[in-house]
């Protein structure tokens, strides 16, 4: 069976497990994201009207307990829906059993959302205003969850932003050298290990109680916020897989990594990668405007360095995966994880020059 035909059959059968009115018409792959497999499924009703749903198969290799992931998402989406009913919120479609997920024949775990129409997600930023809007979106998300006890949520990937442990994992992967690639990345390993001190800044602040634990998104890439196609304004934060207890600085840092630079995350021409101070200032302004009222003085002080820590951490993760044989992040070409790592390191250097004072 051709792949597209297989997808139509598979998605029609998954869709039947959710409380969706109408008849399945077709499913289209949405190729973004490095972890899950995502489709837009279109259903038609008797009046000739179509409605779309977002269906995702949760990556079981990355999320060992997908039901815990869904419990976190259910909690957060319900809170946003009931507390902020006038905004557009991510909304889960219940399964026919009344849960918020359904399993496929192959033990896959699926969820279904109402599709957020008339919006776009940018993979890279072209104007400072997009960076500003993304910061408004993630900052509002942070503020709207700030009254909740973070311990309500489960830690679905332990030590997700524990940068020193990520560094130890990289060193172990280099030592084991399963894919036989260590010899080709000595410069990158050295660039990362020489920044060990930087890796400790956020986690030390969390462990010594100087930085408060909050409910955070933890994956605040620019393409995880939907913007209105008409106005460009931030509409809704998506991809809540990693919503967990964390630091506001994880979210600010990862947004700067992905939005204060116009190049792609895997850009091979390193001369095209440059940290943009104006985009950074737009992100800072947007985050302060939307989350400044809940941030502590110490958090605000560490905003610039958080961008460097998270960029270093993501460089480590891409390099670890390259050394382990590309088993975690989806790749579409040979060496893509190494290209991603090199791009992060170039961005980090450029950040260090612009932000260190």
Q: Which residue is nearest to ligand GN1 (CB)?
A: 34
Q: How many CA atoms lie within 13 A of 347 on its CB side?
A: 35
As measured in angstroms, the least distance from the Cβ of 49 to ligand GN1 is: 31
Q: Which does 299 bind (CB under 5 to 8 A by kind): Mg ion, ligand GN1, none?
A: none
User: Is the separation of the CB atoms in 287 and 303 below 8 Å?
Assistant: yes
Binding positions for ligand GN1, rule: CB under 6 A: 33-35, 62, 219, 221, 224, 239, 241-242, 265, 314
Q: Which does 224 bind (CB under 5 to 8 A by kind): Mg ion, ligand GN1, none?
A: ligand GN1
Q: Which is nearer to Mg ion, 27 or 35 (CB)?
A: 35
Distant-in-sequence, close-in-space partners of 80: CB < 8 Å, separation ≥ 6: 87, 89, 90, 144, 145
Q: Which is nearer to ligand GN1, 20 or 192 (CB)?
A: 192
Instruction: Find where tokens 């849960």 sit.
Output: 99
Q: Which does 188 bind (CB under 5 to 8 A by kind): ligand GN1, Mg ion, none?
A: none
**Count of Cβ atoms closer than 10 Å to residue 189 Cβ:** 18
| Count of residues touching Mg ion (by CB under 5 A) | 4
**Count of Cβ atoms closer than 10 Å to residue 335 Cβ:** 16
Binding mask 218-247 for Mg ion (x = CB under 5 A): -x-------------------x-x------
As measured in angstroms, the least distance from the Cβ of 314 to ligand GN1 is: 5
Q: Which does 336 bind (CB under 5 to 8 A by kind): ligand GN1, Mg ion, none?
A: none
Task: Give CA–CA dist 159/203, Å, rounded.
Answer: 10
As measured in angstroms, the least distance from the Cβ of 221 to ligand GN1 is: 5
Q: Which is nearer to ligand GN1, 239 or 339 (CB)?
A: 239
As measured in angstroms, the least distance from the Cβ of 34 to Mg ion is: 7
As measured in angstroms, the least distance from the Cβ of 328 to ligand GN1 is: 7
Q: Which does 267 bind (CB under 5 to 8 A by kind): ligand GN1, Mg ion, none?
A: none
As measured in angstroms, the least distance from the Cβ of 34 to ligand GN1 is: 4
Q: Cα dist. 140→43, 137, 248, 294 in Å?
A: 32, 5, 12, 10
Burial of 157 (0-12, 13-18, 19+ CB in 10 A): middle
Which residue, among 349, 268, 271, 265, has the nearest Cα to 307 in the 3D structure?
349
Indicate the DSSP class of residue 243: -
Q: Which does 314 bind (CB under 5 to 8 A by kind): ligand GN1, Mg ion, none?
A: ligand GN1
Instruction: Find where tokens 């002080």 sit.
Output: 301
């Amino acid at each position: 069976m051709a792949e597209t035909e297989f997808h139509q059959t598979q998605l029609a059968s998954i869709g039947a497990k959710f409380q969706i009115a109408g008849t399945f018409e077709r499913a289209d792959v949405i190729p973004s994201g490095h972890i899950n497999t995502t489709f837009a499924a279109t259903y038609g009703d008797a009046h000739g009207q179509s409605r779309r749903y977002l269906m995702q198969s949760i990556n079981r290799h990355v999320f060992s307990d997908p039901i815990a992931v869904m419990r976190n998402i259910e909690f957060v989406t319900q809170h946003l829906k009931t507390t902020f009913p006038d905004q557009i919120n991510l909304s889960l479609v219940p399964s026919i059993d009344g849960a918020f997920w359904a399993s496929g024949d192959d033990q896959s775990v699926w969820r279904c959302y109402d599709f957020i129409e008339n919006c776009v997600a940018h993979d890279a930023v072209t104007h400072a205003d997009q960076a500003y809007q993304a910061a408004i979106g993630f900052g509002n998300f942070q503020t709207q969850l700030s009254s909740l006890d973070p311990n309500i949520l489960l830690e679905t990937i332990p030590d997700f932003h524990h940068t020193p442990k990520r560094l130890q994992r990289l060193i172990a992967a280099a030592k084991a050298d399963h894919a036989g690639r260590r010899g080709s990345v000595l410069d990158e390993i050295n660039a990362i290990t020489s920044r060990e001190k930087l890796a400790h800044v956020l986690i030390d602040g969390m462990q010594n109680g100087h930085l408060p634990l909050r409910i955070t998104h933890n994956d605040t890439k620019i393409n995880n916020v939907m913007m209105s196609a008409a106005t460009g304004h931030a509409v809704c934060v998506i991809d809540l897989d990693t919503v967990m207890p964390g630091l506001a600085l994880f979210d600010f840092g990862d947004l700067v990594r992905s939005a204060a630079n116009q190049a792609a995350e895997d850009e091979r021409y390193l001369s095209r990668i440059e940290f943009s101070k104006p985009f950074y200032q737009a992100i800072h302004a947007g985050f302060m405007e939307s989350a400044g009222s809940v941030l502590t003085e110490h958090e605000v002080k560490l905003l610039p360095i958080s961008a460097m820590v998270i960029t270093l951490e993501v460089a480590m993760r891409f390099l670890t995966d390259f050394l382990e044989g590309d088993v975690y992040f989806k790749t579409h070409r040979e060496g893509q994880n190494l290209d991603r790592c090199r791009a992060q390191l170039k961005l980090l250097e450029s950040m260090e020059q612009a932000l260190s004072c």
